[in-house]
Amino acid sequence: MNARYHVGLDIGGTFTDYVLFDREDGQLRLHKRLTTADDPAEGALAGLHELLSNAGVGLGEVGSLLHGTTLVTNAIIERRGRPTALLTTRGFRDVLEMGHEQRYDIYDLFLQFPAPVVPRRWRLEVDERIDRDGAVLRPLDPASVDPMVDALVADGVESVAICFLHAYRNPDHERRVAERIRARHPDLYVSLSSEVVPEIREYARTNTTACNAYVQPVIDGYLERIEEALVAGGFGGRFSLMLSSGGAASPETARRFPVRLLESGPAGGALATAYLGKRAGLDDLLAFDMGGTTAKACLIRDGRPDVAAEMEAGRVHRFKRGSGLPIRAPVVDMIEIGAGGGSIARKDALGLLKVGPDSASADPGPACYGLGGTEATVTDACLVLGYYDPGFFLGGAMHLDLEASWRACADLGATLGLDAIETAWGIHQVVCENMAGAARVHIIEKGHDPREFPVLAFGGAGPAHAARVARILGAREMLVPPVSGVASALGFLVAPVSHEVVRSYPMAFDQFDGPVVASVLDEMEADARAVLASAGVDSADVTIERSVEARLIGQFHEIEVALPEGPITQATAAVLEHLFERAYEGTYHTVLEGYRPMAMSWRVRALGPAPEVPLAAAPSGASAAPKGSRRAYFPESGGFVDAQVYDRARLPVGVLLAGPAIIEERESTTVIAPGDEVRVDSVGNLRVAVAVGHAHAAGLGRDAHEEVRS
Amino acid sequence: MSAPKFDPVGLEVMWSRMINITEECWTTIWRTAFSTIIGEAQDFGCELLDAQGSSLAHSPRSMPVFNLTLPRAVKALLEVFPADTLREGDVLVTNDPWICAGHLFDVALVTPVFRRGRLVALVGSIAHCSDIGGTRHYQSVREVYEEGLQIPPMKLYEAGVPNRTLFGLIERNVRKSEMVLGDIHAQHSANLVARERLLAFLDAYDLDDLADLAEEVQGRAERAMREAIAAVPDGVYRSSARFDGVGDPLELSVAIHVEGERMRVEWDGPPQVAVGGINCTLNYTAAHTVYALKSILTPDIPSNAGCFRPIEVVAPEGSILNCAYPAAVNLRTHTGWYCAPAIFAALADVLPNAVQAFTGLPMGAGAYGVDADGTVYNDHLFQGGGQGAGARGDGQSALLYPTSAGNTSIEMFETRTPLVVEEKALIPDSGGPGRYRGGLGQRVRVRKLRDDGNPSLLALHPQGMIVATPGLAGGQPGRRASVALEGPDGVRRDTELHGMAELRTPADVCTIEMAGGSGFGDPTERDADAHARDQIEGYVAG
């Protein structure tokens, strides 16, 4: 990180974002271009070239390049992985297809399930069996796989997943089969469940391993092209990939465990929030990212995002839990809500106003885009309410059709007995309530009070909705950072190199064996350190974090408890028990008397140093004068009132403005309601002091009506 | 006319909030339960009810029949313990099959919620506990007394104080009682979580109670159901369904009277059986009836009491679908799970796109015994059959229906029992042929891990071993279910086992085969490409 220039590069579904950080002046240079879905490597490299030549910087001067991509996610969603086979224990080839055998919507007779990434004809069974204790029940003859694999290769299979029952307890059979395959077919990609995710429960482990194998050839080919081009261009710095967990990894690790890259973009957003929060002096925040089709919320505590152990990929119904493929891999713990600027408002069968999850996306887009959309969307509502300037969308690059928005809202309103304004306000309220409601559940599930987390907004639609979301949550502050348009790419720059290792090793706390636990953890730590060393991290700079997933004996689900620092000894048992009880009671009220806790899995996370990105303060503007005013709708003020409109770039540091006000910048518009106050802090954040929320504003109909009418 | 109390915006917001509360309640039970059947297979449900015991919202993942029987249980509990006698900290409990969910395993825990000294709501859950005492030879039972501990409406907690007498009785009457009591505690904790959330919700909206909100959400759901019924042409729609009975097949018949916005479902069936426990209480029959109808008529409407007001369900007293105390009821699913297929068949001509052919029925094999280290185990191995096909496509292979449960992880099951699962695989050719094919059933084989001298008792009650249920619109039945115990002394199959397999040594192997789903439409009309794909992937042979 000592070199002068550092680049963050985020390939999203629509746009690819770049940031170039210049260590000498602390400035960021931004670049944005359309993603080239057909050949992502080509687009990524072309954009990199544009960014650098615009800045007059040579590739050889770049010290590090941090890269996040939706390549893995899209490969699974669009089924663009390579032909993959699964070798599994005799009798179990259909586990991958059966899944949980569970209906995720009890009233839908026709619910759909995602097809497995490996078709049945390429799921083959090996004669071997390991029991619950890791003992060999039926020995393996590695040569028995030769004819199977030969046939698979002849069939065009490029990648093989190996997942045997209880391999998390004893990986020997998986390893020997892998050795055999690699010796005979060195070009085949091979993924082992005991390496990808050595955890109990065969379906999630098999699926995760199969998905890993499925995307491995794709990511390998992609990385090869990027690396070749970087070398050819004279790049001599560190090239890393962003992991879903919020850590960075070497290309080698990314090639071995590509499923760990699934949510790299959102992880960058969470890291950026943590970083920008720290800059604003805040360690606890809610990251709130609202784009065109979805909104994401993620809790930052003590300056870091929480990390969860499992997620779902490729859902058939994007917002229905259980309709996707379970992936066990560390992932920044966030919720995704079907609420964005393009979310469509409709009357449902009960006569209620529903917003999303259907989206008008970019084509035809909201009615105001004038591209053929006629249904009212969240963006149309913002336009009718006067929050957006039809002539200043994307800084004026796109003109919006206000009349079309009015028509769409009026048409929908007619079916609900509301006028266009009531409808627009209703859409705004419902979408904010949906987002706040989902965020609230997320925060509460983690045992925290939603009122205690300032909301940091980014994404195109985030700043226009965040203050109201904060108000509903009861949060007292909302922030809009200065680089909100490219937050994910910025987040990559501050990601520490990291690697996480998990191992199932059950042990009752009252039979705690200090030396055994210490040796298991040491082994895991050595593995994790080796990965960091291979990524060029100095061992003196490595931080180790250890935790245990524990539960009461007999239960099925664990809670994660951080292990105390220092060596593990027999005395650790009592400390653990105490920590477990405290965490358990926090979530589920009471620990049942007489029930004993036990450890299930152990986790070790090795972290390199967090890169320092001493971002210079945004230049202070020259004038606190508004650039104009327009009529905007605020029920707090009784309806449409004149709101001052400001150009964000011109606002000086320290200025204090009272709502109602609207602050515009190219990428987004910040809406300040009456009662709220906004200040530009010393590093250029907009900091909104949110008036104390009250439920009436959140949508109790009677009062909303009265406000509308008065 | 009084002004509307709720607009479409505020109501949507509050409705979602109530569903969220039940979802948190659900998560708490799932994550803190001790039994496989609750913690892994998720055989439970959570619900929020108004002060009269009518349903307001339930978790989207709740067991369907529990959602529909809990309100009946709560109303019955309120008759015994009227609202004005309840106090903060009370928790009501019952497993009475006639007022709760139809057999003793399903225990309801109901917690009243007070605000400003007044009862404003009740939160409750029903969960299928891992054991309730009584015999494990369910098929030999004559009366409910043999089926385990009966808990009439009682207080499990009184003003926050646990009822030690009742806890003591439960502890002494069930197998592996720490598991059962741990699960009851999970239900209790979940109700406390829901109570806290509900009170915070009322505070946030400054609502004195839920009465207006209840009237509104139930009224809207009721209107949606009425409209859906009105769209069905008036008339009487009839069908019947044959099922295995207790060794000799029996038949149910249904007449669905559609009159304008109302529906009256008249069931007929044989008299309640004297032996075998396959009798349904009317509660249970009604729940399966309205569950099937809601799936057809208003699948997208969040469920509450209003959905079911326009539907009346009747069955002759003393019949197998409306049995009288003290009939044995443990295996009520053997009869009740045929209600939906009968209803689908009855409405197949008038609503062909909304119904589904018969789905191979699921089973939880209960494994009970003592592990080599002296630990008692009592764990359920769940698996589903093939889903029936419909006008919209093939059935999914291996799916649990009509429940919301999931299967049991093999590795988790093996970790908790001294058993080994040798196979868990789809059965080729088990899906019923049709224009759309039924989903495949599955085969599961289980044996002891080693000869440790302790037998394992596997309770096995698959359905559809004798009767193959025809498909719809010309579709064919799927493969039937079966069980077999193969040992050194030979093979015993299906009904010879009487629902119990004793695994003594690793040489005894139990094979469970779940039925395939039935097909939809004429098999000769099946798309040639779909058939070719089935052959390549081995879903059909040759």
Concatenating the DSSP letter of every residue in B476-524 gives PP-PPPEEEEEETTEEEEGGGGTTEEEE-STT-EEEEEPPPPPPBS-GG
Q: Which residues of B touch A695 (CB under 8 A)?
A: 204-206
pLDDT at residue B506 greater than cutoff 80 = yes
Average pLDDT over residues B412-431: 97
pLDDT at residue A461 greater than cutoff 50: yes
Tell whether A448 lies on the interface with B, counting CB pairs under 8 A: no
Residue A453 has pLDDT above 90, yes or no: yes
Distance, in Å, from the CA atom of A44 to the CA atom of A511, rounded to the nearest integer, reads 54
Pick the residue from chain B with its C-alpha nearest to A554. Answer: B34
Contact state of B384 with A101 under an 8 Å Cβ cutoff: yes
- Three-state DSSP state, A532: helix
8 Å CB contact between B191 and B25: yes
* Contact criterion met (CB < 8 Å) for B421 and A91: yes
Q: How confident is the model at residue B542 (pLDDT cuts 50, 70, 90)?
A: low
Encode pLDDT of A630-684 as tens digits.
999 999 899 999 999 999 989 999 999 999 999 998 888 999 999 999 999 988 8
Peptide bond into A450 cis (omega under 30): no
Model confidence band, residue A698 (pLDDT cutoffs 50, 70, 90):
very low
In three-state secondary structure terms, B34 is coil
Inform me whether the C-beta atom of residue A97 falls under 8 Å from chain B C-beta atoms: yes
Contacts of B184 in chain A (CB under 8 A): none
CB pair distance less than 8 Å for B42 and A102: yes
Q: Per-residue confidence at A339, pLDDT binned at 50, 70, 90?
A: confident
Q: Indicate whether A328 pLDDT > 80.
A: yes
Among B27, B396, B449, the residue with its CB nearest the CB of A131 is B449
CB contact at 8 A, A498 and A607? yes
d(C-alpha A20, C-alpha A66), whole Å: 11
A101 to chain B: nearest residue by CA?
A: B399
* Contact residues, chain B, for A595 at CB < 8 Å: 178, 182
Q: Which residues of A touch B421 (CB under 8 A)?
A: 91
Whole-number Å distance between alpha carbons of B260 and A567 = 75
Cα(B284)–Cα(B101) distance, integer angstroms: 6
Instruction: Tell me the residue type at A327.
Output: I
Point out the least confidently predicted range of A239-248, A370-379, A480-489, A701-710.
A701-710
Mean pLDDT of all residues in B176-195: 94
Name residues 165-224 of chain A within 8 A of B (Cβ): 165-166, 200-203
With CB atoms and an 8 Å threshold, state whether A109 touches B296: yes
Long-range own/partner contacts, residues B223-226 (CB < 8 A, 24 or more apart):
B223/A350, B223/A351, B223/B306, B224/A349, B224/A350, B224/B298, B224/B301, B224/B307, B225/B294, B225/B297, B225/B298, B225/B301, B225/B306, B225/B307, B225/B308, B225/B309, B225/B310, B225/B311, B226/B261, B226/B262, B226/B310
Percent of chain B with pLDDT strictly greater than 90:
90
Mean pLDDT across chain A, nearest whole number?
Answer: 90
What are phi and psi for residue A612, nearest 5 degrees? -90, 130
**What mean pLDDT is predicted for residues A182-189?**
98
Of A90, A120, A592, the CB nearest to B537: A120
Q: Which residues pair with A603 in a beta bridge?
A: A502, A547
Contact across the interface for B442 and A131, Cβ inside 8 Å: no
Query: Given an 8 Å threshold on Cβ–Cβ distance, is B398 in contact with A555?
Result: no
Of B28, B390, B410, nearest to A110 by CB-CB distance is B390
User: How does residue A17 score in pLDDT terms, banded at 50, 70 and 90?
Assistant: confident
Contact B6 A701 (CB under 8 A): yes
Sign of CA dihedral B335, B336, B342, B344: negative
Give the residue-averaged pLDDT of B100-120: 97
Neighbours of A336 (CB within 10 A): 20
What confidence tens digit (pLDDT) does each residue in A412-440 have? 999 999 999 999 999 999 999 889 988 88
Model confidence band, residue A447 (pLDDT cutoffs 50, 70, 90): low
The nearest alpha carbon in chain A to B445 belongs to A91
**Residue A697: its pLDDT value, please?**
37
Q: What is the mean pLDDT of residues B465-483?
A: 97
User: What amino acid occupies position A49?
Assistant: H
Q: What is the mean pLDDT of residues B190-207?
A: 89
Which chain A residues are Cβ-neighbours of B389 within 8 angstroms? Answer: none
Q: State whether residue A151 sits within 8 Å of chain B by CB.
A: no
Q: Report how far residue B44's alpha carbon sits from residue A134's, in angstroms, rounded to the nearest whole number.
A: 33
Cβ distance of A110 and B356 shorter than 8 Å? yes
Give the torsion through C-alpha atoms of B523, B528, B534, B535, to 10 deg: 110
B294–A592 C-beta distance less than 8 A:
no
A81: left (phi over 0), alpha (psi -120 to 50) or beta: beta
Name the least confident of A70-84, A121-135, B87-101, B342-356: A70-84
Q: Residue A319 has which token pair?
A: 């917002």
Quote ipTM for the complex: 0.96
Q: Which pLDDT value is given to residue B4?
A: 54
Please write the tens of the pLDDT for every residue from B319-371. 999 999 999 999 999 999 999 999 999 999 999 999 999 999 999 999 999 99
- Give the pLDDT band of residue A125 (cuts 50, 70, 90): very high
Distance CA A149, CA A213 (A): 15
> Strands, E, within A360-491: which ranges?
455-458, 477-480
What pLDDT shows up at residue B246? 92
A14 or A67, greater pLDDT = A67
Strands A686-689 and B509-513: unpaired
Return the bridge partners of A325, or none.
A313
Do residue A102 and residue B536 have CB atoms under 8 angstroms apart? Answer: no
Chain A to chain B, count of Cβ pairs less than 8 Å apart? 235
pLDDT > 70 in chain A, percent: 96
Nearest to A279, CA basis, from A690, A689, A682, A688: A682
Alpha-carbon distance B301 to B220, whole Å? 10
A556 in reach of chain B (CB within 8 A): yes
Largest CA distance in chain B: 80
Confidence of residue B158 (pLDDT cuts 50, 70, 90): very high
On the question of pLDDT at B376 being above 70, the answer is yes
What are the tokens at B66?
């529990």
CA distance B471 to chain A (A): 15
Q: Which residues, including other chains, have CB under 8 Å from residue B473's CB and lie 6 or more apart?
A: B348, B352, B391, B434, B435, B520, B521, B522
CB–CB contact B423 A91 (8 Å):
yes
Q: Give the C-alpha separation, B222 to B306, whole Å.
A: 4
User: What was the pLDDT predicted at A395?
Assistant: 78
Q: CB-based contacts of A154: which residues, under 8 Å, 6+ apart?
A: none
Nearby residues of A524 by Cβ (< 8 Å), 6 or more positions away: A501, A503, A602, A604
Contacts with B, A 591-620, CB within 8 Å: 592, 594-595
Q: How far apart are CA B60 and CA A322, in angstroms?
A: 11
Closest CA to A694 of A671, A669, A673, A670: A673
* Separation CA B197–CA B192 (nearest Å): 9
> What is the enclosing helix (H) or strand (E) of A87?
strand A84-89
SS (H, E, C) B325-372: CCECCCCCHHHHCCHHHHHHHHHCCCCCCCCECCCCCCEEEEEEEECC
Q: Do residue B400 and residue A103 have CB atoms under 8 angstroms apart?
A: yes
Summarize the confidence of residues A508-531 as an average pLDDT.
94
What pLDDT does A710 receive? 27
Closest CB to A97: pick one of B181, B397, B406: B397
Tell me, what's the pLDDT at B515? 98
Q: Cα distance from A93 to chain B (closest Cα, Å)?
A: 7
Inform me whether the pLDDT recorded for A99 exceeds 60: yes
Strand, coil or helix: A346: strand
pLDDT for res A610 = 84
Select the more confidently predicted residue: B381 or A356: B381
Q: How far is A636 from chain B (nearest CA, A)?
A: 16
Q: What is the pLDDT of residue A693?
A: 52
How much of chain A exceeds pLDDT 90, in percent? 66
From the list A109, A588, A695, the residue facing B204 with the nearest CB is A695
pLDDT band at A445 (very low <50, low <70, confident <90, very high): low
Q: Amino acid letter at B516?
A: G
Burial B454-471 (b: 16+ CB within 10 A, else e): ebbbbbbbbbbbbbbbbb
User: Which ranges of A258-401 would DSSP assign to H, the alpha helix?
Assistant: 264-279, 378-384
| pLDDT confidence of residue A240 | 94
How much is the pTM?
A: 0.92
CA B86 to chain centre: 30
Tens of pLDDT, residues B65-78: 999 999 999 999 99
Closest CA to A192 of A160, A222, A153: A160
**Per-residue model confidence (pLDDT) at position A700:** 32
The β-bridge partners of A549 are: A560, A601
Which residues of chain A lie closer than 8 angstroms to B40, CB-CB? 556
| Cα distance between residue A371 and residue A373, in whole Å | 6
Please judge whether B425 and A552 are an interchain contact, meaning their C-beta atoms are less than 8 angstroms apart: no
SS3 A506: strand
What integer pLDDT is reported at residue B223 of this predicted model?
95
Q: Report CB contact under 8 Å: A426, B424.
A: no
Helix, strand, coil distribution of chain A in percent, nearest 5: 35, 25, 35
| pLDDT confidence bin for A70, thresholds 50/70/90 | confident
pLDDT reported for residue B142: 97
pLDDT for A431:
94
Residues A702, B13: C-beta atoms closer than 8 Å:
no
